[in-house]
Amino acid sequence: MEAPLIDPFNRPISYLRVSVTDRCDFRCVYCMAENMTFLPKRELLTLEELDRMCSAFIRLGVRKLRVTGGEPLVRKGIMTFFHAMSRHLASGALDELTLTTNGSQLKRFAGELASAGVRRVNVSLDTLDAEKFARVTRWGRLNQVLEGIDAAQEAGLKIKINTVALKGFNEDELFTLTEWCASRGMDLTFIEVMPMGEMEEQERIGQYWALTDLRARLEERYRLTDLAESTGGPARYVRVEETGQKIGFITPLTHNFCESCNRVRMTCTGELYMCLGQEDRADLRKPLRDHPDDDSALEAAIRRAIMRKPKGHDFDYSRQRVRGQVSRHMSHTGG
């Protein structure tokens, strides 16, 4: 391995989240517009280019690779990419290959994902009510997702549920979701809605449910024990003593989680975002395509980009204003 990636604040970069498509079979209201204009396919990195790109990051010290979208499993031929990445697991260069999914395609692909070395999957699920699910996803069918979770667990995959806390939408399901996850042996992470995409300011503020309030409600029923563990990422974890499950809280608004950030995000077009909450990005597609037989220019571009990684983001909902808002949709950057 070459010299590892270290950002200007002495944080090692060991985690890459890579979007393989901006397309999705859902249209979640906090993630994308209902009538999205998707990128022309020629702008997307090919599966072979994604392999080269991710392999370069792994040579530079990335130990965890998370595949995202859009919905990653709607990308044609995507299992070819997962199987290609499994060679880095076999060599020991990569510790973990995983993905975040809406669960719609898990029934089709759970077995293949397991055979490619995937051991854990994050499934985005905000409600267990079929009508509300159809409303928040616009196009989704809850039963399809639940069948996908069943298939994934049958294939031996460990499932974590990611739930966006939405005021006035899933507040009444807090205990239902918690107990359903516990009954299935699944951990659960709650996420504050982030100011991303083209939304009316008051609409976004209206969705915002502070996790400090959510946690206080949980503590009315359960004993929560803070855990010291950290993945270097945004979540802070507790153990629910009554169920033994782990619950995470991702709080970009009520707690700035940037001090230990070890990750960067790459879009399906090869743009590297050094911070989810900033607009600065680096074009890695150009050095990749300009030098098809030599990765030295690509690696140099990656190193230059990491030296631009900021100390933290500026998300803020204080004073009823959406500060630090970024214009791109979450589906563009990757979940």
CA-nearest of 157, 156, 230, 204 to 29 is 204
**Structural domains of the chain in order of their starting residue, each with its CATH number:** 15-333 (3.20.20.70)
- Chain segment 154-207, per-residue pLDDT in tens: 999 999 999 999 999 999 999 999 999 999 999 999 998 865 444 444 354 567
- pLDDT for 321 equals 43
Which one is predicted more confidently, 236 or 298? Answer: 298
Which one is predicted more confidently, 259 or 267? Answer: 267
Band the pLDDT of 233: cuts 50, 70, 90: low
- Averaged pLDDT for residues 285-291: 98
User: Residue 45 carries which DSSP code?
Assistant: P
pTM for the complete prediction?
A: 0.88
- Averaged pLDDT for residues 310-322: 55
What is the C-alpha separation between 30 and 252, in angstroms, rounded?
15
What is the C-alpha separation between 322 and 256, in angstroms, rounded?
15
- Averaged pLDDT for residues 262-269: 95
- pLDDT for 197 equals 45
Binding-site members for S-adenosyl-L-methionine are: 30, 70, 124, 194
Binding-site members are: 17, 24, 28, 30-31, 66, 70, 100, 124, 160, 194, 258, 261, 263-265, 275
In order of 35, 144, 235, 307, 326, the CA distances from 24 in angstroms are 12, 15, 25, 32, 20
Least confident of 130-134, 251-255, 263-267: 251-255
- pLDDT for 328 equals 43
Band the pLDDT of 334: cuts 50, 70, 90: low
User: Residue 95 carries which DSSP code?
Assistant: S
Binding-site members for [4Fe-4S] cluster are: 24, 28, 31, 258, 261, 275
- pLDDT for 311 equals 85
- Chain segment 97-138, per-residue pLDDT in tens: 999 999 999 999 999 999 999 999 999 999 999 999 999 999
- pLDDT for 232 equals 57
Which one is predicted more confidently, 328 or 82? Answer: 82
Please report how the helices 211-218 and 174-183 are oriented relative to each other, as an axis angle in degrees rounded to 10. Answer: 70
Percentage of the chain modeled with pLDDT above 90? 73
CA-nearest of 104, 189, 121 to 155 is 121
Average pLDDT, the chain: 88
- pLDDT for 320 equals 42
Binding-site members for GTP are: 17, 66, 100, 160, 263-265
- Averaged pLDDT for residues 77-82: 98
